[in-house]
Amino acid sequence: MENFWDFNVWSAFNILAVLLISLLVANVLRRSIKFLRNSLIPVSVLAGALLLLVASVYKLITGEVMFDTAFFGGSGSVSLEIITYHCLALGFIASTFKPSGQKLNKKRTSEIFNTGLQTVSTYLIQAIVGLGISLLAILAIPSFFKAAGILLPFGYGQGTGQALNYGGIFETEYGFDGGKSFGLTIAALGFISASIGGVIHLNILKKKGKIKVLDKKDAALKSEDIESENEIPMQESIDKLTIQIALIALAYVVTFLLMFGLGKLVPGMKSVIFGFNFLLGVISATLIKLLMNWLKKIKVIKKDYVNSFLMTRASNFFFDLMVVAGIAAIRLSALKNYWGVIIIMAFAGLLVTYFYNLLVSRTLFKDYPEEQFLMMYGMLTGTACTGIILLREIDGEFKTPAAENMVYQNFPAIVFGFPMMLLATLAPTKPIMTLLILVGLLAFIVILLFRSKIFRFKKKAATSAPDANVVENVTVEESGSSGETEE
């Protein structure tokens, strides 16, 4: 029988409370210190870094792991990883439930499709660069895990949750000691890369006079942004927020049942299947959303139960919690022999992500190249929230479609990016083969992405040849007729 004064009763709350309090402290520091405010570092990243610093100092003084003390139930480090794991899927589920919005025309559909391909091709470039660096690293550090570099796209491109998932798979299935911390550290450095690259780019544009960085002011919300006409009341016998959380919970239970069933069917792939909790969460939420739309169509449901405003708040809450917990879960001691490789990998990730997305954005999104670049660069080094932070600096009211591209590109990105996720589990056993397949996939995606440029060029080349023949024939005929006249 538990006593209410035992730490076992309070440990789960204590962990959540410390994570949330750290967010409050980080928010105050970011608003108070000009350097932090100008750095564009997300509050959640700053909060995680603060907890990591405090935990490191605590260990130096006491020799104990702070989150593994009785106050946190004796296993708080594991709890942080669990929170990171669950919040990834919960955030995606909440995002999936949001209403789709207005219909898209042909041009917008093409731009969204291209954005999805831009995302996947960046993943592949990051994977190739990261895997190449780790294969070179084993020449200097023979004990280094040869497939560690493939965590670069999961840390940079997909964020803290996926970096933890795949780092965990490598740690448990393939013996990569410190795999979770390696992935989480790459993700943390990704946020720093987003801030460094984003701030530098904004300053370059500002000095060239191409943009005027907007003053950051909180825009007033309109009533239609909070609640649409046909929704259930905000407060009735049950609060509307409770309904949103219940729908997210329902989708996640369905997700667990799907993963449990697939794990029974393919027991050898159980760790990989449960690593895709976010993807199966998106599928579960989509199915429930379609079911609710059908029930509304046949008049069983007469009101809209999903509120876009509240689902956005829930999604952002889960992602903030995921980031701060993920960074706080890093074990610096597990990385003492790898810091040189990590720094090289992080810097290479910054460079290739910056210059590749700059090229794509200025080539394919000529109506809003800088907005598309900042959105994509921020997202592909941090999270979607990081991309929004950078985008707001020059497009505070989201007048360009850049933010919308980021929302809708998820489906093509998942479809074309899924093979890379599977290849990641092949890398520990066959890294060279994996590298070659990644290069082949990249070539295919790049051709598909630049199809309008490549095939238009070929079409022009094909049509220009007959034109030359016509000109030549006309010239011959004219010279012949001229001869006849002279005669």
Residue 468 has pLDDT above 60, yes or no: no
Q: Could you tell me if residue 163 is inside a domain?
A: yes
Q: How confident is the model at residue 203 (pLDDT cuts 50, 70, 90)?
A: confident
Residue 219 has pLDDT above 80, yes or no: no
Residue 19 has pLDDT above 90, yes or no: yes
Q: Could you tell me if residue 472 is inside a domain?
A: no
pLDDT for res 484? 42
Concatenated DSSP letters of 126-178: HHHHHHHHHHHHHHH-TTS-TTGGGGHIIIIIS-HHHHHHHHHHHHHHS--TT
For the ranges 142-151, 326-335, 371-380, the lowest mean pLDDT is seen at: 326-335
Mean pLDDT of 324-329: 87
Residue 5 has pLDDT above 90, yes or no: no
Q: Closest by alpha carbon to 198, among 26, 353, 397, 403?
A: 353
- For 20, the token pair is 């949330």
Mean pLDDT of 462-470: 54
Spatial separation of the C-alpha atoms in residues 472 and 192, rounded to whole Å:
61
Q: Could you tell me if residue 468 is inside a domain?
A: no
Concatenated DSSP letters of 184-244: HHHHHHHHHHHHHHHHHHHHHHHHTTS--PPP--PPPPPHHHH--TTBPPSBSSSBHHHHH
Residue 462 has pLDDT above 70, yes or no: no
- For 296, the token pair is 């509304």
pLDDT for res 459? 60
pLDDT for res 486? 39
pLDDT for res 478? 45
SS3 at position 419 = helix
Q: Could you tell me if residue 62 is inside a domain?
A: yes
| Whether the Cβ atoms of residue 166 and residue 279 lie closer than 8 Å to each other | no
For the ranges 110-119, 212-221, 320-329, the lowest mean pLDDT is seen at: 212-221
Residue 475 has pLDDT above 70, yes or no: no
pLDDT cut 70: percent of the chain above it: 86
Q: What values do phi and psi take at 458, rounded to 5?
A: -65, -40
Number of domains in the chain: 1
pLDDT for res 123? 94
| Whether the Cβ atoms of residue 171 and residue 180 lie closer than 8 Å to each other | yes
Q: Closest by alpha carbon to 77, among 89, 68, 69?
A: 68
For the ranges 87-96, 133-142, 283-292, 469-478, the lowest mean pLDDT is seen at: 469-478
Q: How confident is the model at residue 466 (pLDDT cuts 50, 70, 90)?
A: low
Dihedral of CA atoms 413, 194, 323, 428 in degrees, nearest 10, equals 60
Residue 474 has pLDDT above 80, yes or no: no
Residue 272 has pLDDT above 80, yes or no: no
| Whether the Cβ atoms of residue 379 and residue 387 lie closer than 8 Å to each other | yes
pLDDT for res 104? 66
Mean pLDDT of 248-253: 96
Spatial separation of the C-alpha atoms in residues 46 and 25, rounded to whole Å:
9
Residue 260 has pLDDT above 80, yes or no: yes
Residue with tokens 């083969």: 433
Residue 190 has pLDDT above 60, yes or no: yes
Residue 35 has pLDDT above 80, yes or no: yes
pLDDT for res 225? 58
Task: For the chain, give the mean pLDDT.
Answer: 84
The H or E element spanning position 468 is helix 451-486
Residue 73 has pLDDT above 70, yes or no: yes
Residue 124 has pLDDT above 90, yes or no: yes
What is the 8-class DSSP label of residue 276? T
Q: Establish how many alpha carbons lie within 13 A of residue 421's alpha carbon, considering only the half-sphere containing its beta carbon.
A: 20
Q: Could you tell me if residue 149 is inside a domain?
A: yes
Residue 141 has pLDDT above 90, yes or no: no
Q: Could you tell me if residue 2 is inside a domain?
A: no
Q: How confident is the model at residue 470 (pLDDT cuts 50, 70, 90)?
A: very low
Residue 57 has pLDDT above 60, yes or no: yes
Mean pLDDT of 164-190: 89
pLDDT for res 90? 92
Residue 102 has pLDDT above 70, yes or no: no
Q: Closest by alpha carbon to 371, among 199, 211, 217, 206?
A: 211
pLDDT for res 388? 78
Q: Could you tell me if residue 473 is inside a domain?
A: no
Q: What values do phi and psi take at 116, rounded to 5?
A: -60, -40
SS3 at position 121 = helix
pLDDT for res 224? 53
User: What's the domain range around 433?
Assistant: 7-213+237-451
- For 65, the token pair is 């792991």
pLDDT for res 425? 87
Which has the higher per-residue pLDDT, 354 or 460? 354
Residue 77 has pLDDT above 60, yes or no: yes
Mean pLDDT of 17-21: 95
Spatial separation of the C-alpha atoms in residues 251 and 291, rounded to whole Å:
12
Residue type (1 letter), 19: L
Task: Write the pLDDT tens digit of every residue in 359-417.
Answer: 999 999 999 999 999 999 998 998 777 787 788 778 766 688 888 788 778 778 888 88
Residue 198 has pLDDT above 90, yes or no: no
Q: What values do phi and psi take at 183, rounded to 5?
A: -65, -45
pTM of the predicted protein model: 0.75
CB neighbour burial string for 41-63, b if at least 16 within 10 angstroms, e if fewer: bbbbbbbbbbbbeebeeebeeee
Residue type (1 letter), 177: D
Spatial separation of the C-alpha atoms in residues 457 and 104, rounded to whole Å:
27
Q: Establish how many alpha carbons lie within 13 A of residue 57's alpha carbon, considering only the half-sphere containing its beta carbon.
A: 6
Q: Could you tell me if residue 462 is inside a domain?
A: no
